[in-house]
Chain A
Amino acid sequence: QVHLVQSGAEVKKPGSSVKVSCKTSGGTFSSFSVSWVRQAPGQGLEWMGRTIPILGTTNYAQKFQGRITIIADKSTATAYLDLISLRYEDTAIYYCVYSSAWYGAFDIWGQGTVVTVSS
């Protein structure tokens, strides 16, 4: 059974950047995909992007192009989300999500990382 453990909460100032990690265990890291999904307070779910480590590919939602980087470290089975030029509206819970199929459901969700953007 795949398990995802994310890094802890962050408080950031507007204009700064944040890096969230997602350590995976219990599966073959390279063969599946890891997406990042965020949820603003009281709001719905928003897909930000994904990586497929075995292919070395990443895809990003157009909304975040230029501000987002997702990387996969196969040596540690860890995925990272980098978001720069933070704005107040980036305040949200950020989830890493595992999919066993590249175009399939989100099978397993991490516990979430709260990112607060505040001056």
Chain B
Amino acid sequence: EIMLTQSPDFQSVSPKENFTITCRASQNIGYDLHWYQQKPGQSPELLIKSASQSMSGVPSRFSGSGSGTDFTLTISSLEAEDAATYFCHQSITLPHTFGQGTKIEIK
């Protein structure tokens, strides 16, 4: 089973700051890494697929990069609506696995 480790677990960030979440895989997963945003009381939503492909309708301030074992999700100029928990997910092999999540609080 492939383990995904995110950092940090939690961060309080001021509006307009840039923020980066990292996701490290326990083995090479190529580009099969995806990012989701989950707001309180809602289902997760796909933000970025295949490491760097932004989904339609996702604000351009969200971007993803990386390959192999190391990946990042960057949010540029954070807005209040970005308060949420972010998860990474690998799909290269079964079982699918997720990172433990990164909760972002907006100051």
Is there an interface contact between A105 and B94, defined as CB atoms closer than 8 Å? no
Assuming the A-B contacts A44-B101, A103-B91, A104-B49, are A111 and B43 also in contact, with contact meaning beta carbons closer than 8 angstroms in the complex?
yes
What residues of B have a CB within 8 angstroms of the CB of A32 in the complex?
Answer: none
Number of interface residues of A (CB under 8 A): 22
B91 near A109 with CB under 8 A, answer no
Interface set, chain A 23-73, CB cutoff 8 A to B:
35, 37, 44-47, 50, 59, 61-62
Q: B89 near A103 (CB under 8 angstroms)? A: no
Interface size on B, residues (CB 8 A): 22
A106 & B36 in contact (Cβ 8 Å cutoff): yes
CB within 8 Å of A: which residues of B? 32, 34, 36, 43-46, 49-50, 87, 89, 91-101
With both beta carbons as reference points, the residue of chain B lying nearest to A95 in the complex is identified as B43
Q: Is the CB of A35 within 8 A of B43?
A: no
CB pair B87–A104 under 8 Å, yes or no, is no
A108: nearest residue on chain B (CB-CB)? B46
**Residue A14 at the B interface, CB < 8 A?**
no
* Docked complex: A93-119 residues within 8 A CB-CB of B: 95, 99, 103-112
Residue from A59, A62, A103, A109 within 8 A of B92 (CB atoms): A103
Chain B residues within 8 Å of A44, by CB: 87, 98-101
- Please measure, in the bound complex, the distance between the C-alpha atom of A111 and the C-alpha atom of B38, giving whole angstroms: 12
Q: Mark A65-96, 1 if CB is under 8 A from B, else 0.
A: 00000000000000000000000000000010
